[in-house]
Amino acid sequence: MRRLEYTFKTDTLFKMLFVEHPDLLKKLVAALMGIPAESITQFTIQNPEMPPESMGEKFCRLDINMAVNGQRVDLEVQVCNEGDYIERAMFYWAKEFTAAIPAGGNYADLPRTMILSILDFALFECSEYASFFQPMEVTRHTLMSDKMGFRFFELPKLPDEISGKDELLLWLSLFKANTEEELEKIKAMEVPEMEQAINAYYKITASSEFRERERLREKARHDEAQALHHARQEGRAEGALSNMIEAIRNVANSLNISVDEAMAVLKIPESDRQTYREQLTPQ
């Protein structure tokens, strides 16, 4: 089986494809929200831009933010489980919700705001691949407000066999696909929007514009990984320094000896002692 160099989960491809084909995005969003596509009468992509300078930035998000029938809808694709996605989704929701009120506006006019998350990892301890959360009273199960909503779609939990009649599973299977054979299997179902999406995929991945954007994005991913690595290294170094200072202080106090004598007891190299003296000497 030939693995795909890029998949629908590749954030650069995801953003380019669905911004260039808003008709496909509209159908995808309708399936994710569980509503008929024809019921969407107002649909606008709020952040279609992908400026080259942003593609090379560390920690750059390539989400798609939309206005859908008066609601604010943010679509995210997350590949790696970094252990904080629920908190991150709530943060995204808070930013979208609070940004919707103009200066001097009325709180009651804040729109319904929904975060849609397609995840390439299992997030919840359940067998269902789709989850929908809203704030609710825990005893009476009374909905507090329909203005907060989170929909999560966990790709590893999708069934192996899908029907060409299940729009949601078809769309999610596109995102799950990692091989050419998987894409061709979906295309063979002859569902028009799937054929259109797969044809757009091949056209975009062959373009020089996509290749350059992905090059910049890959550089940003590398820079991000390096930044996190250095931060962890510095954190470990700072932790080791703090632990040694505490050990010197404890030895000096318990034996009632000087800091220099404590460092000698601990066999700290002479070349390192000045660093500890500066930390232990009252300013």
| pLDDT for the residue numbered 255 | 67
The per-residue pLDDT of the chain, averaged, comes to 88
* pLDDT score for 229: 58
Q: Are strands 113-119 and 71-78 parallel, antiparallel or unpaired?
A: parallel
Residue ranges of the domains in the chain?
11-206, 237-280
pLDDT at 256: 72
More confident residue, 281 or 165: 165
- pLDDT, one tens digit per residue, over 139-163 is 999 999 999 999 999 999 999 888 8
User: Based on the number of CB atoms within 10 Å of its own CB, is 60 exposed (0-12), middle (13-18) or buried (19 or more)?
Assistant: middle
More confident residue, 178 or 252: 178
- Both tokens of 142, joined, read 């009374």
Complete edge-to-edge strand list for the sheet that includes strand 43-45: 43-45, 64-68, 71-78, 113-119, 148-154, 130-133
For the ranges 96-100, 145-149, 168-172, 229-233, which has the lowest average pLDDT? Answer: 229-233
DSSP character at residue 109: G
Does residue 134 register a pLDDT over 90? yes
pLDDT at res. 273: 83
- Report residue 78 as tokens: 């997350």
For residue 61, the model assigns a pLDDT of 78
